[in-house]
Amino acid sequence: MHFIWFTREPDLIIELEDEEDQQMYGFLVSAACLRVSSRFFDRMLDPQNGFKPLPQTNLNGNPITVLRLHEDSIAALGWMLNIIHFQLDSIPREMSRENIFAVAILCDKYLWQRAIGLWAEKWVVALLPSEENTNSRTNGIDYPTEPWKEDVSKEGCEEWLFLAQAFPNIDNYTSYHRKVFNTLVEEIVGNMEPFNDASRMLKSSKAGQRVVLPVMFERVPQPTFTKIKETRDEYFSRAISEMTDLLLEIEILKRQFDEKKGDNVQRDCQGDTGCYEATLAYSMGSSHQTGWDLEGTYCPSCIRKQVCLWVVWERVEKLREIWRYHASTQGVQRDKNRNSATWPKTNEPHTLIGNVTSKLGNLWNS
């Protein structure tokens, strides 16, 4: 066993195995320092806690209590013990996000937030990207950049959400936490399941060069995970509702002014294997548009599973443009078709509205 001393007169050995090199470490510490620094250890080391007494061993001929920990970071535990034993020369002045995340896990697990609050703020604030615009120079030309957008475009940005829970009192963090939260709401693809990792499609991706990164939900606190999921569901419902309204209004305008219909959309959803629902466009009676269209490819349920939110909102904006185009021609078409147009252009006036309303129940419940 490799011993590390944090006090001259230890009365407790914390044993922890490094899983990488399978080396056992013994941290020689003061039980009093642990109890003062953490409610977790205060309860665990209280002789009157009602638990089974901790085992003891001999160190240099003297009895000493042994506390065995599991699956913790050797380095992070060492930094924490240096802080609570006032070994200031052994405390790092700066940390990478990976190391801060390891410390945050211990703080959340052992309730050490108050003990290292000032150090945590120093480390985290130093890593927070600027939320102000800066200029970058390329080929002699200055371009405005937003450093925070570059940071959230990196793999692992969800770790910031865990840091916000582990260190809730850090100044200047709330605003950036909200930016990370909103980014994940917009970029996550697929159903959010607590024990499954997912992916996200970067909104900053260039056209034709979609960048997809993994998202590790195990690094997102459960309350935050639930809030992201609920927010996505709400926004998807709004977007699909607006797509439905726009598709219906566009189809009515087309038929009202006797515009030639295009090819029918694909009836079956191209989403999950085994999905035989009608696509959103088909359920609205809408004709197929040129190119790949969400409403002509997926049913409302599969839109939520197959596409990220910002792509859906881009399609909503495109449908708004299509609607504005058809609406702007209304005056010209009205005079042209005054004597011949009927509304809707069909032998059975109830067909369009009936087709739409008969399927709205499934649409809203998806």
- The answer to whether residues 262 and 349 belong to one domain is yes
- Host domain of residue 260: 236-365
- The answer to whether residues 319 and 275 belong to one domain is yes
For 250, counting Cβ atoms within 10 Å of its Cβ (0-12 exposed, 13-18 middle, 19+ buried), the class is: buried
CB 64 within 8 A of CB 12: yes
Rounded Cα–Cα distance for residues 34 and 331 (Å)? 79
Q: Which residue has the tokens 């005079």?
A: 335
What is the DSSP secondary structure assignment for residue 212, as one 8-state letter?
Answer: E
Give helix 97-110 / helix 117-127 axis angle, nearest 10°: 150
Q: Identify the CATH number of the domain in which residue 89 sits.
A: 3.30.710.10
- The answer to whether residues 245 and 358 belong to one domain is yes
Answer yes or no: is 136 within a domain.
no
Answer yes or no: is 78 within a domain.
yes
CB 157 within 8 A of CB 183: yes
221: left (phi over 0), alpha (psi -120 to 50) or beta: beta
Answer yes or no: is 299 within a domain.
yes
- The answer to whether residues 248 and 288 belong to one domain is yes
3-state helix, strand, coil in the chain (%, to 5): 50, 15, 35
CB 230 within 8 A of CB 239: no
Q: Which residue has the tokens 């970058």?
A: 136
- The answer to whether residues 114 and 150 belong to one domain is no
Answer yes or no: is 225 within a domain.
no
- The answer to whether residues 203 and 254 belong to one domain is no
Residue at a domain's end among 88, 122, 156: 122
What pLDDT, on a 0 to 100 scale, did the predictor assign at position 359? 38
Total domains in the fold of the chain? 3
Answer yes or no: is 216 within a domain.
yes
Answer yes or no: is 133 within a domain.
no
What residues pair up with 64 in beta bridges, in sequence order? 57
What pLDDT, on a 0 to 100 scale, did the predictor assign at position 299? 82
- The answer to whether residues 95 and 205 belong to one domain is no
Which sign does the torsion angle of CA 315, 320, 326, 329 carry? negative
What pLDDT, on a 0 to 100 scale, did the predictor assign at position 347? 37
Residue at a domain's end among 63, 88, 122: 122
Answer yes or no: is 273 within a domain.
yes
Read off φ and ψ for residue 329, nearest 5 degrees: -90, 0
pTM of the model as a whole: 0.73
- The answer to whether residues 170 and 118 belong to one domain is no
Read off φ and ψ for residue 319, nearest 5 degrees: -65, -35
* Six token digits for residue 171: 């100044």
- The answer to whether residues 159 and 244 belong to one domain is no
Question: b vs e for 93-106, b when ≥16 Cβ sit within 10 Å of the residue's Cβ?
Answer: eebebebbbbbbbb
What pLDDT, on a 0 to 100 scale, did the predictor assign at position 292? 58
- The answer to whether residues 30 and 77 belong to one domain is yes
- The answer to whether residues 198 and 259 belong to one domain is no
- The answer to whether residues 240 and 361 belong to one domain is yes
Residue at a domain's end among 164, 191, 220: 220
Answer yes or no: is 26 within a domain.
yes
Per-residue pLDDT for the chain (366 aa), expressed as one digit of tens each?
A: 888 999 888 999 999 988 888 889 999 999 999 999 999 999 989 888 878 888 888 888 788 999 999 989 999 999 999 999 998 888 999 888 889 999 999 998 999 988 888 888 888 888 877 655 444 444 455 444 567 777 778 888 888 888 888 887 776 677 788 888 999 999 999 878 766 778 888 887 666 677 888 888 888 888 999 999 999 999 999 999 998 888 888 888 777 765 555 555 556 777 776 777 777 877 766 655 544 577 777 888 888 888 889 989 988 998 898 888 878 876 555 555 444 433 333 333 333 333 333 333 443 344
Which sign does the torsion angle of CA 268, 273, 275, 280 carry? negative
Q: Which 3 state secondary structure label does DSSP give 136?
A: strand
Report DSSP letters for 319-345, one per residue.
HHHHHHHHHHTHHHHHHHTTTT--SSS
What pLDDT, on a 0 to 100 scale, did the predictor assign at position 141? 52
